[in-house]
Structure 1
Amino acid sequence: MKILFVDDDARVLEMLRRNLSHRFDVEIQSDPVEALALVRQGNFAVVVADLRMPGMDGFAFLAKVEEASPLTVKIMLTGHADMESAIAGVNEGHLFRFLTKPCSQDTLVKSLDAALEQYRLVTAEKELLRGTLQGCIKVLTEILGQVNPEAFGRSERIKRHVKNMVARLKVKDPWKFELAAMLSQIGCIFIPEDIVSKNRCAGGLTPEESQIYNMHPTVGAQLLSSIPRLEDVREMIVHQEDSLADHPDQPRGARILKICLAFDNLEGCLGNKLDAIGKMKQAEGVYDIHMLDIFERYVLADTGVRPRDIRLVELKEGMILGEDLMSEAGAMLLAKGLEVNSYSLMRLHNVAKAQKVVQPFRVLVPLEE
């Protein structure tokens, strides 16, 4: 784990590197602007900064470090033993330690060891949380896949669109947006599959069916209410069908979901990407225009896949279904847009033992295959 020292005094930096490099992975930088660039590029566990630096003081610098790398542990090292600055730094700057010069090597080493241990604890907790959440989400989506393949297939298609959008928008915590996409249809677990299918085209539902279907974002958010730390994800899901004009404070993630969901419906109904995008651009006040422009550029670009008509024995993980996979009796087995994984492949082979699959069927194969 790397430690970055930032000080405008080159002699101090060289002394620190000479005395500590045998024990720690140390990097030094005298310019706070260049140091910030390093923080954004690298993975520093600890950043130690001087308080008095020309152009940008230590507090301003470490505040920017907090924005760029929230998990990095921050220490202030200064020759100005100002108690008010120390209190402000700890309370406002999220500092782990405030050390004064001259600082003995023993004190500095102990502080760095403690900072590295703090970094290990914070990152371990985050990974544990992420792993726990992903496990919960996997169970929920697999249940949805069993109960309502149409809704599950839709969430799989949406997930790919959202993943591409957050990469282009460079959002913070992209995993939250991807989870929201995966769980966007979880409320459909209580909705008949034929209603979900009919919703692909505007006007396909009766007023009663529309009322039932429109409840799914609220139901989905309620289902997630017992899972801790998913507040942001729940907000995205509950507002995913909102019109921007009616709800100008619509969360950013919900705006992305709104665009991706509408495109999926329109493409399925109209059968053409250009027509789907054109229809969306005609709807004033419904979508975030900036996001819709980014989505249009992304979705009309080369998709990186090639279509193939295959038989069941040729189906592999990583392939994407280019059409609904049906049994000869007319039952949907897997929905269009599903990216085949080991679970869906095993499930399909088990089902095929009892029901004949309509073959051949269309899949999309990544170009690197």
Structure 2
Amino acid sequence: MSPESKPRVLMVDDEPNVLAGFRRALGRRYALTTAEGGMHALTILDSHDPFPVIVTDMRMPGMDGLAFLHEVHLRHPDAVCMMLTGNADQATAVRAINEGRIFRFLAKPCTPDVLDQALQAAHRQHELVVAERVLIRGTLSGSVRLLIEVLALSEPELARAAMSIRKTVSALTQELGLETEWRYPLSASLCLLGTVVEGGATRDEWLDDERLESCAHTAARLLRNIPRLTDVADIIDRQRETGPLPDTLNTADPRERVIIGARLLRIATDLERFRTEDASWDGIQTRLRQAGHDDRIIQAAHRARIADTNTPGTGGSDQKGSPALQQALTPWELRPGMVLARDVSTPDAKLLLSKGRELTPVVIEKLRSLAKRNVIGGLIEVQAADHDPATPEAPEAEGTHVDPAAIANARNRSEGTPTHER
């Protein structure tokens, strides 16, 4: 077995002889990295790719096994951890399981065969953890995005507010070092779901405190019926609560994750409302403090310049980096990833899609359908910052076909030439 194909394991113990024994017994089957003590192990973790499996002793000078595991869970939450210790009393085992959240508790002396079987089981567990994360972030998140897109097509103003809230939460998680937590952006995407269900309100009414709280409870009740979304439902349910953030933000504690997610949603919705009432950041910042927001999250918003970059008319995040290329294209030339440069409205000025909306396959199909029925004009103004999405390099929406006749008809309509329905 080549070194690259061997399962990787980090072994932590303060006794060099013990580590040498691990290397002799397991080195041919596993890619072992050893560390003499917790502090040395943390240095290794900071300079290497994440280890799927970590095995640690309990009693070590300077940093014991539980303190080390606490740091591991903060830095590498997907790692599967085991404890191998000579201090195998019941109290130690209980603390290791409850506080260290270990996968296996093994007592020294431990035969190579028993340790090998435990390591194999730990690697299988890690594969399940990673597969579940991919499923949640990919399949589940993709399904949720599709649901929100379809709902948003019937409420374009609501979609504009939801998009702004989602961008705000994304910027805040980047500033706070929380970008790996999938629950926060998913909560932001779904936070106005209850508003769609309850319906019958203007944009200002959507952002009213009482209305937000009522709609949050409605959304939470619906989401609790979906497996794996209990934390997301709790975050949305508590999004109007006030109070400080937990001391530690990168936490594996589900209760603290809910609090952090709820605080992110509250400041995002408050920013959405305050921006329309007070154009200055100083004024917005004062109102955020009066609303009881934690100063750390206010400072994160300030660093991200959310109040400025998301203010209508400023160009938003497009001002950062290279200028966006603006084009007028037919619906059959649009590609996922483009962004609407102008609102899309019917001839009687009914808003269909808001400026700044990122085009997805669902939105593109909607625009093509509207164009076929002559509900909208022939050309759509879009932006593409990195390349011209109409070129062959840009991927086409899956399951769609670029119809040359439809493109010609759409361009003719934009120039006032009579056309017929296909």
Q: Please, what TM-score do these two structures have when normalized by structure 1?
A: 0.80
Structure 1 gaps, min length 5: none
Aligned letter for 2:299? D
Distance (whole Å) between structure 2 residues aligned to residue 349 and residue 98 of structure 1: 59
Whether 1:251 and 2:259 are equivalent positions in the alignment is: yes
Q: 1:286 to 1:358 in 2, by over 3 A?
A: farther
For 2:298, the equivalent position in structure 1 comes to 292
Identity of aligned residues (%): 31
For 1:177, the equivalent position in structure 2 comes to 184
Distance (whole Å) between structure 1 residues aligned to residue 61 and residue 80 of structure 2: 23
Whether 1:96 and 2:103 are equivalent positions in the alignment is: yes
For 2:413, the equivalent position in structure 1 comes to none
Q: 1:37 to 1:230 in 2, by over 3 A?
A: farther
* Residue 179 (structure 1) shift: 0.8
For 1:153, the equivalent position in structure 2 comes to 160
* Residue 180 (structure 1) shift: 1.1
Distance (whole Å) between structure 1 residues aligned to residue 17 and residue 212 of structure 2: 68
Distance (whole Å) between structure 1 residues aligned to residue 235 and residue 160 of structure 2: 19
**SS of residue paired to 1:219:** helix
Q: 1:13 to 1:339 in 2, by over 3 A?
A: same
Distance (whole Å) between structure 1 residues aligned to residue 340 and residue 222 of structure 2: 28
Question: After superposition, where does 1:313-324 map in structure 2 within 5 Å?
Answer: 313=330, 315-324=334-343
Deviations 1:122-155 (A, max 9, x none): 3334444444532541343133123212212322
For 1:58, the equivalent position in structure 2 comes to 65
Distance (whole Å) between structure 1 residues aligned to residue 98 and residue 375 of structure 2: 66
**SS of residue paired to 1:163:** helix
**SS of residue paired to 2:9:** strand
Question: After superposition, where does 1:1-369 map in structure 2 within 5 Å?
Answer: 1-39=7-45, 42-80=49-87, 82=89, 84-131=91-138, 133-171=140-178, 174-190=181-197, 195-197=201-203, 199=205, 215-241=214-240, 251-267=259-275, 269=276, 275-283=279-287, 284-286=289-291, 288=293, 289-298=295-304, 299=306, 300=308, 303-304=320-321, 306-313=323-330, 315-357=334-376, 363-367=382-386
Q: 1:157 to 1:316 in 2, by over 3 A?
A: farther
Distance (whole Å) between structure 2 residues aligned to residue 151 and residue 197 of structure 1: 7
For 2:252, the equivalent position in structure 1 comes to none
* Moved segments of 4+, more than 6 Å: 210-214
Aligned letter for 2:269? L
Distance (whole Å) between structure 2 residues aligned to residue 63 and residue 214 of structure 1: 35
Distance (whole Å) between structure 1 residues aligned to residue 240 and residue 355 of structure 2: 22
Distance (whole Å) between structure 2 residues aligned to residue 304 and residue 261 of structure 1: 27
How many residue pairs are counted as aligned between the two chains? Answer: 354
Aligned letter for 1:98? F
Q: Is the 8 A contact 1:326 1:358 kept in 2?
A: no
Aligned letter for 1:280? I
Structure 2 gaps, min length 5: 1-6, 245-255, 310-318, 389-422
Distance (whole Å) between structure 1 residues aligned to residue 41 and residue 136 of structure 2: 30
* Residue 20 (structure 1) shift: 2.0
Q: Is the 8 A contact 1:48 1:75 kept in 2?
A: yes
Comparing 343-352 with 253-262, greater Cα deviation is found at 253-262
* Residue 276 (structure 1) shift: 5.0
Comparing 129-138 with 336-345, greater Cα deviation is found at 129-138
Distance (whole Å) between structure 1 residues aligned to residue 282 and residue 217 of structure 2: 29
Q: 1:57 to 1:238 in 2, by over 3 A?
A: closer
* Residue 26 (structure 1) shift: 1.6
Q: 1:192 to 1:116 in 2, by over 3 A?
A: closer
* Residue 326 (structure 1) shift: 1.6
Distance (whole Å) between structure 2 residues aligned to residue 214 and residue 222 of structure 1: 13
